Structure 1
């Protein structure tokens, strides 16, 4: 609808209609993210959870650079067609992926970690390719044919992980066939006994769940289960851990979003050349990608090997971003180059940490809702620190400069501010707020230290072993045995 309005293929819509179209289009990615990330977390709930979330959000970080390449290859420099691309491409991709994005009941494979690391290596190759292409495109004139070749190479790197999946599925299929041909003979009595025990256990678990569900959800709001168990939606929303996590992300994450949203104005006001500012904006998605991948992998190592609380990583990222904020506030020579890397890295690192912590503390039963509730902290922090703080102080300084020059602002004229003072106090305040967000994170570190010292994935390891047993029994029981069981 936005594309039809911009290209004047339909009557000019009213303001409220246009706002509705933009609202739907801008927020539709929440559904895609929920479907992909939540389903994947439930398929890989064990020790690979952080790596998997980091990998998925990392590809999300590369999406802007990927779509830019597709746009130039498909439509050249027709900016109106970019809106059309944003309308049909995500929709077509979502429909194509519908058959495979679902909960799978499968046994844990011994080489799962190796496969995920292969995915990460391939994504690093894609990121490096995009980085090189962006730099070349900024340096030389790229023809439409050149865009065809670069985009084709990019798509090849993008679908390369599918080859790994096919190879691994073939290996699993081959192993199962070998087990069927040369394995131990079926033992119907033993198998049926095991199945009966599993059914009894499942029935008992279902009965316990039914008893819990009969208790009013309003009465159990302030009686949550242990950390790591399945919280209800209300228990998660009104839990002190969720409040701390929300405040930490709100204050710590909002400042990094403010930098990215105002990167062009920051560069202009501090006197950086136009081509440098364009490069910052083009490469920021690469730095965001690196933050997601590095933190996704390293935080999982810290959790499993060192038993450090994951919120400690969140506090560290907040403190690291303060360096970038101060480089901008005091206009350190060439500091924006370093600041853009630090801020991009920290902005990317926040997402996998936040989403993984929510899944670990509040369980997976209602993760789709609690995941999005936790994610609400980012736009709230962005509005407060970007719009209400940074934008307000920037406009005030611009008006002061116009008044000093004896100029009068014309109706509808954009305010422009030049010099260090334009963003100095904004980012000094943002630094203070971010430090507060880090301190709030340390409260969560203290509260969850015992939880993270335990084996937080024990339940999922047991479920994986159960699934492996069921699959093995299904393979060993012949059709006649299954018929007798029926």
Structure 2
């Protein structure tokens, strides 16, 4: 009897260890870990919160500040290195690179604006922020790409959740900062309120463990039942079954490397190699749409602090704008991820068409900024945050669906790489230039001359009016171009694009 009790306890402990091991190594816990990583990876979306400090402490004009913002966007979106590294190494290697780069880049910026080092050259600040922001692509690649490959049949939802946490991370980091450093006299909420909100955010993040454990329990029970059934089966023949014909003969896609047959791509939905995707008309269209569509909303977000200041909003409102952008950035990503997945599954509603609708919505935000409607910057922050967030899951899901998952670690960075180009054109060359031109005009009207090292400030609606009218026109052009992609892919999205992934999952089960 005692021996039986010991054996029962040992069996129970072995079962518990088996379950814990399964949870820690399973794909559901991987999703949870990825959510935590992404929830702390969105420092690039807080640029509007500290850009004013960079401008004033280092004496920059708006064009220089926007140039720094452009290099922030380059670092945050050009992820070709992280993609290539992830093709040949485990995800933890990519994530480790990201941690090192994040610390170095932002630590050097902190030293510069607090005066702990000599005033850096502009190119040094551009380099620091580019390195710090580029860490975001390493966390994106290590977490997001891994999750998409583990849940290919639900990629819209997966991308929406993960990219949503990146968008929300700006607000999360801000809340945690105020909870720890609530002594700042400029707060409009008391420290205890920030501590409470930060605790609530952490509770929401870790409460997802309940869902993870529930899913793993179901998987564990299923595996135990399969194991029992396998023991009860008798081996009828020792001869192995011949493998299916498709396994004996590799496909052309398996033989092809990333550079072969660049102008002879496979059918949509099959695995393109890197050059086939780069030279495809679908990718060129999507790249163009991202350049002007995402580039426009990114310009608005990067300039929110300066827009608020030029329109006479109090400094505490500028912090509110950044929080609104972060929150609605998150909601836009989650909403577009879930909605596009549901609409695609039930109604065959193509993701490119939903992307077109999001671009049209962003035009209203650009108009509100252009004409400086009183108190409309709150609504503009909501629209810009939502549209900017909603675009990314759609773009990344479209890339994975049209060009396959074999080289997704590299291919998804092509979509992200388009937005810095748009930001440079719309933010640096247009918005920054027109802002400084108007600021110099205002100085001349007062009979003043700008002193060396003095930051250049513009006040009034005219500071951003023409720039955002141009941005709205560029976004409308992106809408028209995206309609071309809708027409080109309507047959593809009208089919069952996830059929092969469901069949593969069933075979594995």
Q: What is the TM-score with the length of structure 2 in the denominator?
A: 0.73
- 1:175 paired with 2:222, answer yes
8 Å contact 2:289–2:479 — kept in the other structure? Answer: yes
State the alpha-carbon separation in 2 of the partners of residues 289 and 210 from structure 1.
37
Secondary structure at the counterpart of residue 170 of structure 2: helix
State the alpha-carbon separation in 2 of the partners of residues 139 and 75 from structure 1.
14
Partner of 1:3 in structure 2? 107
8 Å contact 2:352–2:482 — kept in the other structure? Answer: yes
Structure 1 432/62 Cα, relative in aligned 2: closer, same or farther at 3 Å? Answer: same
Structure 1 302/148 Cα, relative in aligned 2: closer, same or farther at 3 Å? Answer: closer
Partner of 2:189 in structure 1? 140
Following superposition, the deviation at residue 77 of structure 1 comes to 5.8
Deviations along 1:41-77, whole A, 9 cap, x unmatched? 111111x110110000011111112222333344556
Secondary structure at the counterpart of residue 188 of structure 1: coil
State the alpha-carbon separation in 1 of the partners of residues 118 and 237 from structure 2.
72
- 1:217 paired with 2:259, answer yes
State the alpha-carbon separation in 1 of the partners of residues 299 and 318 from structure 2.
16
Partner of 2:470 in structure 1? 429
RMSD: 2.8
Partner of 1:482 in structure 2? none
Following superposition, the deviation at residue 330 of structure 1 comes to 1.4
State the alpha-carbon separation in 1 of the partners of residues 266 and 392 from structure 2.
25
- 1:197 paired with 2:243, answer yes
Partner of 2:139 in structure 1? 32
Following superposition, the deviation at residue 446 of structure 1 comes to 0.8
Deviations along 1:370-406, whole A, 9 cap, x unmatched? 1011110111111111111111111111111111121
Following superposition, the deviation at residue 188 of structure 1 comes to 3.1
Partner of 2:484 in structure 1? 443
**Segment of structure 1 superposing worse, 376-385 or 269-278:** 269-278
State the alpha-carbon separation in 2 of the partners of residues 187 and 147 from structure 1.
63
Following superposition, the deviation at residue 426 of structure 1 comes to 0.6
The list of structure 1 runs, each at least 4 consecutive aligned residues, that deviate by more than 6 angstroms after superposition, is 7-11
- Unaligned stretches of 5+ residues in structure 1: 79-136, 469-486
Structure 1 11/408 Cα, relative in aligned 2: closer, same or farther at 3 Å? Answer: closer
2:507 to 461, 466, 472: 466
Structure 1 269/19 Cα, relative in aligned 2: closer, same or farther at 3 Å? Answer: closer
Structure 1 39/223 Cα, relative in aligned 2: closer, same or farther at 3 Å? Answer: same
Partner of 2:233 in structure 1? 186
1:70 to 170, 176, 194: 176
Following superposition, the deviation at residue 274 of structure 1 comes to 3.0
Secondary structure at the counterpart of residue 28 of structure 1: helix
8 Å contact 2:188–2:316 — kept in the other structure? Answer: no
Partner of 2:152 in structure 1? 45
Following superposition, the deviation at residue 273 of structure 1 comes to 3.0
Count of residue correspondences: 402
Structure 1 183/346 Cα, relative in aligned 2: closer, same or farther at 3 Å? Answer: same
State the alpha-carbon separation in 2 of the partners of residues 258 and 249 from structure 1.
13
Structure 1 68/403 Cα, relative in aligned 2: closer, same or farther at 3 Å? Answer: same
State the alpha-carbon separation in 2 of the partners of residues 346 and 192 from structure 1.
59
Partner of 2:42 in structure 1? none
Partner of 1:361 in structure 2? 402
1:395 to 407, 420, 436: 436
Structure 1 392/460 Cα, relative in aligned 2: closer, same or farther at 3 Å? Answer: same
Secondary structure at the counterpart of residue 197 of structure 1: coil
Secondary structure at the counterpart of residue 454 of structure 2: coil
Deviations along 1:17-60, whole A, 9 cap, x unmatched? 665444322211111101111111111111x1101100000111
Matches within 5 A, 1:241-256: 241-256=282-297
Deviations along 1:288-315, whole A, 9 cap, x unmatched? 0110011111111221122122111111
Matches within 5 A, 1:84-103: none
State the alpha-carbon separation in 1 of the partners of residues 120 and 238 from structure 2.
67
Matches within 5 A, 1:15-414: 15=121, 20-46=127-153, 48-74=154-180, 139-143=188-192, 147-181=194-228, 185-189=232-236, 196-198=242-244, 201-205=246-250, 208-209=252-253, 211-213=255-257, 217-218=259-260, 220-414=261-455
Structure 1 201/392 Cα, relative in aligned 2: closer, same or farther at 3 Å? Answer: same
- Unaligned stretches of 5+ residues in structure 2: 1-103
Partner of 1:108 in structure 2? none
Secondary structure at the counterpart of residue 262 of structure 2: coil
State the alpha-carbon separation in 2 of the partners of residues 20 and 420 from structure 1.
32
State the alpha-carbon separation in 2 of the partners of residues 316 and 465 from structure 1.
35
Following superposition, the deviation at residue 325 of structure 1 comes to 0.6
Following superposition, the deviation at residue 334 of structure 1 comes to 2.4
